[in-house]
Amino acid sequence: MKKWLITLCMSLCLLSLTACGAKEEAPKLSDADALQEGIMDAQMLSSIIINDMVDEYAYQMEQQYGWGQMLKNACDSMEKSIDEMGNIVSGGEELVSNSVTLDSLGNYDEGSIQVLIHGEKKDAVFEVVFERGQYKSFTTNVKHTFAESMEKAGLNTLLGMGTVFCVLILISLIISAFNFIPKVQAAFKKKPAAVSEKAVDSAIAQIVQNEELSDDEELVAVISAAIASFEGTSSDGFYVRSIRRFR
C-alpha cells in the first residue's frame, strides 16, 4: 500500500513539473482585425499610387521610420499588379490567412496577413508581413487561372528551348565554317606566275646565241666591220646578236 502511494505521488510531481515547463503560446491577432488591417493597407497603397505621391510618402516614411525603400517596393509591386488586374474595387475582400502574434502589450509582433482584394479584371492576394513589431514588406500577387498559368509556363518553356536551340545552331555553323578557313588562306596566298613554253624557248635561244657569239668573237668583229663599211657608219651604231650559217 505504501509503495503504491509513493508511486502515485511521484507521478503527480512529474506531471506538475511538465505543466510548469510548458511554454505559454503568444496571443494571436483576431481574424476580423487582420482583415481590417489588410484592407486598410491595400487601400493606402492604392491611394498613394493613384494620387502619384509615392516619392513624397517614401521620403516621409524614411525620415520617420526608415521605411522609404520598403514603401517604394510595395508601391511598385501593387502598380504592376494594377496594370493586370485593373483598379481595385472595394467590397468583397476576404481573409486568406492570418499568423500575426501579439506582444505582451497587445501590439503586432510577428507574422503575416493575406487578404484577397478585387480588381476590375482580376483578383489579387495582398500580403502584409510584420517582423519585430514593425512592417517588413507589402506584396501584391495577381491570381491567375489554371489555363493562364499553363499558358505562361508553356511560353516560358518554348522561349527557353528556342534560345538553347538557336545557340546550338549558331555553334554548329561556327564549327562548320572552320573547314573553309584553309581554303580562304590558300586563296589569299600569292601564286608564282606561270612560265609559258615560248618564254622558255626564247630564253634558251638567247643563251645559245650568246654562247655562239662568245665563241666567235673574231667573226663577230669582222662581220660588224663589214656591215659598217657597207652602211658607211661605224660599228658602234648596231649590235650583232646572232650569226646563222646558210648552206
Tens of pLDDT along 76-129? 989 988 888 888 887 778 999 999 999 888 889 999 999 999 988 889 999 999
Alpha-carbon gap, residue 107 to 135, rounded angstroms: 12
* pLDDT for res 163: 87
Alpha-carbon gap, residue 92 to 118, rounded angstroms: 7
Question: How does pLDDT run across 11-26, given as a tens digit for each residue?
Answer: 555 545 544 444 567 7
* pLDDT for res 198: 63
Higher-confidence residue of 67 and 181: namely: 67
* pLDDT for res 22: 45
Higher-confidence residue of 70 and 187: namely: 70
The H or E element containing residue 164 is helix 146-177
pTM of the model: 0.54
Which of these, 126, 104, 122, 124, lies nearest to 114 by C-alpha position? 126
Per-residue pLDDT at 231 exceeds 50: yes
Longest CA–CA separation in the chain, Å: 173
- Asked if 101 and 27 touch (Cβ cutoff 8 Å), the reply is yes
- Asked if 68 and 11 touch (Cβ cutoff 8 Å), the reply is no
